[in-house]
Amino acid sequence: MTNLKEQIIAISQEIGISKIGFTTADDFDYLEKSLRLAQENGTNSGFEHPNIDERIKPKLLLKNAKTIISIAVAYPNKLPQLPEKSTYKRGKFSSSSWGVDYHTILTEKMARLSERIAELTDDFDHKAMVDTGALVDTAVARRAGIGFIGKNGLVISKEFGSYMFLGELITNLELEPDSPVDYGCGDCNHCITSCPTDALNGDSTMNAKRCLSFQTQTKGPLDEEFRVKMKTMLYGCDICQIACPYNKGITNEAQTTINPELAYPELQPFIQLTNQEFKAKFSEIAGSWRGKNVLQRNAIYVLANVNDKTAIPLLEEIAANPSNAVHQEAAQWALDKLRSKAKDK
């Protein structure tokens, strides 16, 4: 079946998959202890697939599973130029949310790959998944040779750094597996020392609830520590990636057009968007999944972090409106911060 594997690799390149790897559908037993511990300790994000057995046993997802095909689609970490002058101060979405939602991109590429494989072999059976699926994408990618898992928990390759979206096809094909890469973090701890909330444990695991990416996506009011440390971030966090030496000099090409105005939106207009306006403008990006209320709460915090005193009238209006208690409390907090900074001067 070597020829079939070569054909699949060639197809993946044709359809814009950055890197592809193959591994067996054997269980990922070594993950069970850490997954159960994170669940018991409450240090997982809560967004993960809840059935741990299904996360580590591919054959529970596809009975005749033999080979898992892991794919990576690289994404850019450098934003197209913003206008030099802005009317308002801006917040930002993490690089994983620039352009069209990566779930859409990966799903489309895996569907095209599956269709082409089905043309090459009879009785092709498969199950596709992205990060909303059961398997641990990073574990699959590591075993399939896409890259190693860094101390920040992300898969890192020499070609694309950690700026890769991951997905996999569990298949009934018998294909020669690839080997894991022969490089890693070594003694480097840049991501650990750079993490502003000490979320990384140093062994590729983390306290996900301390990660700013989680905090910017969770509902309700945030603890003050996270409000301040999110700085200008509206969604996600790139700090551990920016700190990683493997990402120095990486210039991955975008799969879709990136609108800088969506990646770095002006804060005050963003806070005033209606549901209809938010959906019309932001619905295609990954960060929109959480909805405007959480993201607008973050934008209110950011106004205080960037010391935007021009926002005081808007914040006073929100603070006086009890229709959204989370926004009301956030606005009052931001007002207190802005006024306190004004007094200090």
35: tokens are 């997954």
131 is catalytic: yes
Which amino acid, 112? R
Rounded CA gap, 297 and 330, in Å?
Answer: 7
Q: Which of 26, 131, 178, 308 is catalytic?
A: 131
Supply 344's token pair: 């200090």
Helices within the chain (DSSP H only): 2-14, 32-41, 52-56, 102-120, 137-143, 190-194, 212-215, 224-229, 239-243, 260-263, 267-271, 275-282, 292-305, 312-319, 325-344
Among positive and negative, which fits the CA dihedral 149, 151, 154, 158? negative
Residue with tokens 């596709």: 128
**286 and 294 Cβ atoms separated by less than 8 Å:** no
Through-space distance between the first and last CA atoms of the chain, rounded to whole angstroms: 72
Strand partners, 68: 23, 170
Active-site annotation, residues: 131
